[in-house]
A and B are shown apart, each in its own frame.
Chain A
Amino acid sequence: MSFFSIFKLTIPVLMGYIPLGMAFGLLLSKLMIPWYYAFFMSVFIFAGSGQFLALTLFASQATILEIGIATFLLNLRHTFYGLSMVSTFKKFSWKKNYLIFGLTDETFALLKTNEIDEKNKEKVYLIITALNQSYWVIGSVTGAVLGNILPFNYKGIEFSLTALFVVLSIDLYKKSKLHKPFFIAVIIGIVGMLGFPSEKMLILSLSLAAAVLILFRRNLEDAK
């Protein structure tokens, strides 16, 4: 498989990662965070919604523990991707560590939907992951640098985060077999937003959601 044909596979991700990365960078610059943090976050975290979440948490001065727990829970869906890759990656060399690190939603989707012959698999997977990450890094750094230069009224751009969470909720709702957890989360979210102290809202709501999910498992799974 030539480099160009691998590149062609990644074009849909390019189209998504550059603008979304730029939105992330713009938001970061609006929080008065220096641009190089965008670079380090995109190189070392490499998780779209996770990085947006980090910005939200930074802006509200969340504690380090909250950042850790919220990021872990938000990205928990990645364990799924890992699960279905365990047997494939097992045959690869140590370089699979980069593949595991770079297993984002979009990379996973590409790896799973394209048939690649066994002989070249490891190399092709590595190139796909590296290309995807490079789009994400380029987009986010460009956004962060532009945000400092462009004279533009960014007031309200933070709404892109709310919109991102709305969009991801809809996507997950559509994929979900059980729909009750969605409505429970809406109720918990409203109660939390209006009733919980602002700085504890996230942690309290998430713990409540996890508790309800586990305690009422039988009720939730029964009635679909």
Chain B
Amino acid sequence: MQSSYLISGIVIAVFATYMTRVLPFIFFAKRKPSPLIRYIEWNMPLMIMVILVFYALKDVKWGQYPYGLAEIIGVLIAIFVHVRFNNALLSIIISTVVYMFLIQKIFV
């Protein structure tokens, strides 16, 4: 990967992340945010996170063997473990290990 691409990508990510943290201190030091802003802040992150799940799966070849089965199983395990034990790290580790096992040993 080109270092100029990486560096500009990181710089923009630094800036974008910092903006999300500093904006309230700039804009809302005196006045309260409007209900619309609050509504977007409450609801947008969930929608983004869900879309990111599908974004992460966008290169899966659903029409070819094994028809995305490893991904589907991995996601179901992550959901199951997380709903059952409510431990983010545990859910991520178990589902990733199962997924790695599936694509390395089963669906080769």
Which residue numbers of A lie inside 8 Å of B, CB to CB? 16, 19-20, 23, 31-33, 37, 40-41, 44-47, 50-51, 53-54, 56-58, 60-61, 64, 67-83, 85-86, 89-90, 100-101, 103, 153-157, 159-173, 176-178, 181-182, 184-186, 188-190, 192-194, 198, 201-202, 205-206, 209-210, 213-214, 217, 220-221
> Does B8 have its Cβ within 8 Å of any Cβ on chain A?
yes
A192 near B13: Cβ-Cβ < 8 Å? no
**Within the assembled complex, what's the spacing in Å between the Cα atoms of A29 and B36?**
41
> In the complex, what's the smallest C-beta–C-beta distance from A77 to chain B, in angstroms?
4
A82 near B24: Cβ-Cβ < 8 Å? yes
B47 near A182: Cβ-Cβ < 8 Å? yes
Q: Which residues of B contact A37 (CB under 8 A)?
A: 6, 10
- Most chain A Cβ neighbours within 10 Å, of B16, B50, B57, B104: B50
| In the complex with contacts A54-B13, A57-B9, A172-B49 CB distance below 8 A | yes
> In the complex, what's the smallest C-beta–C-beta distance from A156 to chain B, in angstroms?
4
**Within the assembled complex, what's the spacing in Å between the Cα atoms of A141 and B108?**
32
Q: Which residues of B contact A16 (CB under 8 A)?
A: 88-89
A171 near B75: Cβ-Cβ < 8 Å? no
18 inter-chain pairs at a CB distance below 8 angstroms, sorted by A residue, are A16-B89, A51-B13, A57-B9, A58-B5, A60-B59, A72-B17, A74-B45, A75-B17, A78-B21, A83-B33, A100-B25, A160-B96, A186-B50, A193-B54, A193-B55, A201-B58, A209-B47, A217-B36
Near A by CB (< 8 A), chain B positions 23-75 give 23-25, 28-29, 33, 36, 39-59, 62, 70-71, 74-75
| In the complex with contacts A67-B12, A157-B100, A177-B42, A103-B79 CB distance below 8 A | no
Q: Which residues of A contact B95 (CB under 8 A)?
A: 159, 163, 166
A182 near B46: Cβ-Cβ < 8 Å? yes
**Within the assembled complex, what's the spacing in Å between the Cα atoms of A68 and B95?**
29
Closest Cβ neighbor of B32 among chain A residues: A83
B82 near A162: Cβ-Cβ < 8 Å? no
| In the complex with contacts A68-B15, A74-B45, A171-B88 CB distance below 8 A | yes
B96 near A163: Cβ-Cβ < 8 Å? yes
Q: Which residues of B contact A154 (CB under 8 A)?
A: 100
B21 near A101: Cβ-Cβ < 8 Å? yes
B42 near A67: Cβ-Cβ < 8 Å? no
**Within the assembled complex, what's the spacing in Å between the Cα atoms of A153 and B24?**
44
B6 near A159: Cβ-Cβ < 8 Å? no
A53 near B44: Cβ-Cβ < 8 Å? no
> In the complex, what's the smallest C-beta–C-beta distance from B6 to chain A, in angstroms?
6
B89 near A173: Cβ-Cβ < 8 Å? no
Q: Which residues of A contact B74 (CB under 8 A)?
A: 159, 162-163
